[in-house]
């Protein structure tokens, strides 16, 4: 990684699985770091890579050993990640006369949404670690606002990338182990505010969104412009899943020859649906409406309409008829209504082509 921090007196280096930021000047730090988190002062911050599945009941002790091997002071602020620190993204900016740098490592295999059931979290070290370096003098209130603004911007980046929670399938707001670290040189202009209504807050938000997206692309290969088919696969909507559901729903009294022909037609319909931009876009939009909405009887009626529309788009009247047979007394989630619309549409199209 060749990126540099452009603030005078800072150095960034990566080696032996550790990203190290050092400063010639004592830094005032506000952080949710594993080691030396909270409000503190230091001249160094480390972000250490561990293997996927890493677990220890004493991460502070583990990081202190890392610091000892790297000959760093024990007051160093320490972070842990399963993301490759060589793939960190660095952004340097001077906005409204205020210099700042952003360093992000990001892995989203453990993506979650605020409010998810903690019992469903996967205990992984994969995380989004955001380090903000400031070359000005923020007040205590400003530091807190920066953490808030950065966290909101991270959630926007995940929404724009369409990252889903592994615990609930809702749009993710982060991972279950994210951290934010804000470090200031405390020289220069005193700054009181950094909320999203301020020029500084807007600038930080834009840059954090860009940097988080880049870090996720580097680590996990997830791009905002990835094919619709990939987004559907991330939701479990795959060719194999659909064919399996169709096979279970085909008329039981059909001859073996008829069933083989219907499955052949169904496979063709599945491929056409998943590779058609118009059809895939409609399916994805319907799924996202269900992901974002609160389940209620009123919304189930909306979801039923979405499922019927998807069924008709894929299989015409035959698809909609299949959907209505299944969903007249629907008891499952609104999300599954859309999935059922896909299956019904595929069956309808297969029957029409038989």
The DSSP secondary structure of 80-116, one letter per residue, reads EESS-GGG-EEEEEEETTEEEEEEEEE--TTEE-TT-
Asked if 54 and 179 sit in the same domain, the reply is yes
Lowest mean pLDDT segment, chosen from 42-56, 126-140, 153-167, 250-264:
250-264
Residue 4 domain-assigned?
A: no
User: How much is the pTM?
Assistant: 0.88
Q: Provide the number of structural domains found in the chain.
A: 2
Average of pLDDT values for 244-273? Answer: 82
Q: What is the pLDDT of residues 50-86, one digit of tens each?
A: 987 777 789 999 999 999 999 999 999 999 999 999 9
pLDDT at 330 over 90: no
**Tell me, what's the pLDDT at 48?**
96
Residue 5 falls inside a structural domain: no
**216 and 232 housed in the same domain:** no
Which of 220, 238, 271 terminates a domain? The answer is 220
Average pLDDT on 133-147 reads: 97
Does residue 142 share a domain with residue 66? yes
- Domain for residue 2, yes or no? no
Q: Same domain for 33 and 182?
A: yes
pLDDT value at residue 229: 86
Per-residue pLDDT, 296? 60
Q: Give the residue with greater pLDDT, 332 vs 154.
A: 154
Could you give the angle at the alpha carbon of 112 between the alpha carbons of 335 and 206, nearest 5°? Answer: 105
Mark whether 198 and 291 lie in a shared domain: no
Of 174, 199, 220, the last residue of a domain is 220
The pLDDT value recorded for residue 263 is 87
How does pLDDT run across 19-59, given as a tens digit for each residue? 999 999 999 999 999 999 999 999 999 999 998 777 778 99
Which residue range is the domain that position 53 belongs to?
Answer: 10-220
Q: What is the pLDDT of residue 208?
A: 98
Domain boundary among 220, 253, 280: 220
Say whether both 47 and 119 belong to one domain: yes
CATH number of domain containing 130: 3.60.70.12
C-alpha pair distances (Å), 233 with each of 7, 19, 201, 241: 42, 34, 36, 10
Same structural domain, 208 and 291: no
Task: Judge whether 1 lies within some domain.
Answer: no
């Amino acid at each position: 990684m060749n990126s540099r921090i452009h603030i005078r007196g800072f150095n960034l280096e990566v080696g032996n699985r550790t990203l190290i930021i050092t400063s010639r000047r004592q830094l005032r730090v506000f952080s949710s770091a594993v080691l030396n988190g909270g409000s503190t002062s230091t001249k160094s911050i480390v972000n250490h890579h561990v293997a996927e599945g890493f677990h220890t009941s004493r991460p502070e002790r583990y990081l202190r050993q890392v610091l000892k091997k790297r000959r760093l002071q024990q007051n160093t602020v320490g972070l842990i990640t399963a993301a490759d620190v060589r793939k960190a993204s660095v952004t340097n900016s001077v906005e409204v006369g205020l210099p700042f740098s952003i360093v992000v490592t990001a892995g989203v295999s453990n993506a979650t949404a605020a409010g998810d059931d903690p019992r469903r979290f996967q205990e992984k070290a994969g995380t989004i670690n955001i380090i903000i370096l400031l070359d000005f003098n923020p007040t205590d209130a400003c530091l807190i606002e920066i953490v808030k603004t950065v966290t909101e911007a991270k959630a926007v980046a995940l929404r724009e990338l369409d990252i889903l929670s592994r615990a609930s399938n809702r749009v993710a707001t982060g991972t279950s182990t994210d951290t934010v670290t804000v470090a200031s040189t405390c020289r220069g202009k005193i700054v009181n505010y950094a909320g999203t209504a301020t020029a500084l807050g807007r600038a930080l938000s834009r840059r954090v969104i860009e940097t988080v997206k880049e870090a996720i692309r580097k680590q996990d290969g997830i791009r905002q412009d990835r094919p619709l088919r990939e987004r559907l696969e991330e939701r479990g909507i795959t060719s194999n899943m659909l064919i399996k559901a169709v096979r279970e729903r085909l008329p039981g009294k059909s001859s073996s020859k008829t069933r083989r022909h219907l499955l052949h037609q169904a496979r063709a319909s599945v491929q056409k649906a998943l590779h058609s931009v118009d059809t895939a876009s409609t399916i994805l939009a319907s799924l996202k409406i269900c992901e974002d909405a609160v389940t209620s009887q009123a919304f189930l009626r909306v979801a039923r309409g979405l499922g019927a529309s998807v069924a008709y788009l894929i299989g015409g009247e035959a698809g909609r008829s299949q959907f209505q047979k299944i969903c007249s007394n629907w008891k499952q989630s609104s999300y599954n209504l859309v999935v059922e619309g896909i299956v019904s549409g595929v069956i309808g199209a297969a029957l029409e082509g038989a």
